[in-house]
Structure 1
């Protein structure tokens, strides 16, 4: 999981690495890019999490404005928020009340407003195939769609940097990129766990808000295409083949690194969403 940092959000003492993506935003900094890629690889191996410094990519005012708009939406009367509830679309896009999102069988103490990539010929009776529901707040949709476009570009930049850290060839990177060029927006670490055959672990995590104020978070999940077949990458298997080679047939991986089975991402996502919302119970079975 990546936590994005802007100039005003750096923690005073971070136990996780803070990685600057700046070298990947400019041409000619080969040494800087290799250093960033190595840091990403090390963080994914050790933690499965890292902070990403994107202060050279976005204006600090942008996320502040998005947060302001979010506060304005969540301060609306309940009936107005309910007018774009999940239940009015595909039970994945729209507003969710407190406790409507479920984690490990328990309702979460947060409200949310979820968007996914627009699809052709939307049909709200089909899982994940509805339409996004936007608040009528002036500039809300315009500014959030601009942010989505910017974060999608950033997702590709970070993925390319990670591909170098993993030792992928340029050809292998282009093949991987084709799996996310039309991404469904909402990259989970579990996908990287499969792609890396377990080298990068999907870390169990939760959000703990210790303050007394009303906290707004604007996460962006960058995921593969709906029809992408996610399977272990050759680069990851090469790394594992190089581990503990004693007593093994050349070209095989250690027994401790059992190869992950391929999965169609859309099926994985539907299974994930099916247990997320009480309102969608039965819709994704």
Structure 2
């Protein structure tokens, strides 16, 4: 088995890790992979994965169907607009409707999550961000493809969290036992329109993710940038890979040993850019606490943070943290979500 231990300088400074040993649960090599994950998350907060086993045909189908959806006129796309998703926080938003740091992003997209029927206890209880997805009725197989992809990525998320647990010297079931046995799954499909300006317009501005793990599928256009210790670096598409990064909650759990790294997107091409971020997050109702790690000094310098806030000062459930964040992303829908939380 070949484990990729070196960074491919032709592509990016962000490390590339072959996780096939985690997939096959080969114990000796799993430790090697865990060590690579530790180094990558300590140094970058980001890494590429290959050897993940996610069906390439499923990925291609998802990309093709997404292209079909975004090629439609706005009126048609708005038939599944987010306002119709209600408390579940699902559906389509047009270009400029999503905000990062108060500024409109130059992208459109669709929000998805775990498909829950209306008689599910969390839905019946009115829990925000839980419920049914909205799918375009005029694109055959869109629903089935998205749900199959969510299922595949959820399984991959569990495997990667086991690898992250091992990287911290913990039992591989550490996160599943406490936070992610029933994870909050959020999936997005984003379309960044072609760059028609000579100015630097950001598809999405500098930000960190909220939860524990993001698994990103990119198309072949590129535009993702990661803030490293030496400055902004590109994380371009690598065939057959996903880009993984951690969010604020893992930063909090590890007391700053693993930092949630700022990143941003700028589509400099004359083509549309598709991206597929999959968020594998703690259960909505769990309280996120620091892990007891030996010889760890908390890095809590707010000046390091893009938003000048501390994830280590937060106290409460992941749902509370998440609602506070998303209410700033879509201020027009904010009241619906906050009312449903009361």
**Which category describes the TM-score, using the shorter chain as reference length?**
0.7 to 0.9
| Map 1:114-129 → 2, pairs under 5 A | 114-119=111-116, 120=120, 122=123, 127-129=128-130
Task: Decide which of 149, 152, 161 is 1:159's aligned counterpart.
Answer: 161
| CA distances 1:152-201 after superposition (whole Å, capped 9, x unpaired) | 0100100001111101135xx34644421211112341111011011111
Report the Cα distance in structure 2 between the residues aligned to 1:108 and 1:66, rounded to whole angstroms.
Answer: 23
How far residue 281 of structure 1 moved from its aligned partner, in angstroms, is: 3.4
How far residue 269 of structure 1 moved from its aligned partner, in angstroms, is: 1.1
How far residue 239 of structure 1 moved from its aligned partner, in angstroms, is: 3.8
Greater strand percent: which structure?
Answer: 2
Q: Is the 8 A contact 1:24 1:33 kept in 2?
A: yes
Q: Is the 8 A contact 2:255 2:299 kept in 1?
A: no
Report the Cα distance in structure 2 between the residues aligned to 1:151 and 1:108, rounded to whole angstroms.
Answer: 26
User: Structure 1 residues 63 and 11, CA, compared in 2 at 3 Å: closer, same or farther?
Assistant: farther
User: Over aligned residue pairs, what C-alpha RMSD do you find?
Assistant: 2.6
Q: Is the 8 A contact 2:16 2:48 kept in 1?
A: yes
Report the Cα distance in structure 2 between the residues aligned to 1:255 and 1:75, rounded to whole angstroms.
Answer: 44
Instruction: Report the structure number with the largest CA radius of gyration.
Output: 1
Q: Is the 8 A contact 1:90 1:130 kept in 2?
A: no
Q: Do structure 1's residue 49 and structure 2's residue 46 form an aligned pair? A: yes
Please list every run of 5 or more consecutive structure 2 residues that lacks an aligned counterpart in the other structure. 1-7, 187-211, 214-246, 302-309
Report the Cα distance in structure 2 between the residues aligned to 1:195 and 1:64, rounded to whole angstroms.
Answer: 35
When the two structures are superposed, what TM-score results if normalisation uses the length of structure 2?
Answer: 0.69
Report the Cα distance in structure 2 between the residues aligned to 1:180 and 1:72, rounded to whole angstroms.
Answer: 33
| Map 1:126-205 → 2, pairs under 5 A | 127-136=128-137, 137-169=139-171, 173-174=173-174, 176-186=176-186, 187-188=212-213, 189-205=247-263
Task: Decide which of 322, 329, 337 is 1:276's aligned counterpart.
Answer: 329
Alignment size in residue pairs: 258
Give the equivalent residue in structure 2 for 1:37. 34
How far residue 279 of structure 1 moved from its aligned partner, in angstroms, is: 2.6
How far residue 59 of structure 1 moved from its aligned partner, in angstroms, is: 2.9
Task: Decide which of 53, 69, 75 is 1:79's aligned counterpart.
Answer: 75
Report the Cα distance in structure 2 between the residues aligned to 1:254 and 1:63, rounded to whole angstroms.
Answer: 38
Q: Is the 8 A contact 1:90 1:126 kept in 2?
A: no
User: Structure 1 residues 63 and 283, CA, compared in 2 at 3 Å: closer, same or farther?
Assistant: same
When the two structures are superposed, what TM-score results if normalisation uses the length of structure 1?
Answer: 0.82
Q: Is the 8 A contact 2:257 2:299 kept in 1?
A: no
Please list every run of 5 or more consecutive structure 1 residues that lacks an aligned counterpart in the other structure. 1-9, 244-252
Task: Decide which of 86, 94, 101 is 1:97's aligned counterpart.
Answer: 94
Report the Cα distance in structure 1 between the residues aligned to 2:314 and 2:73, rounded to whole angstroms.
Answer: 47
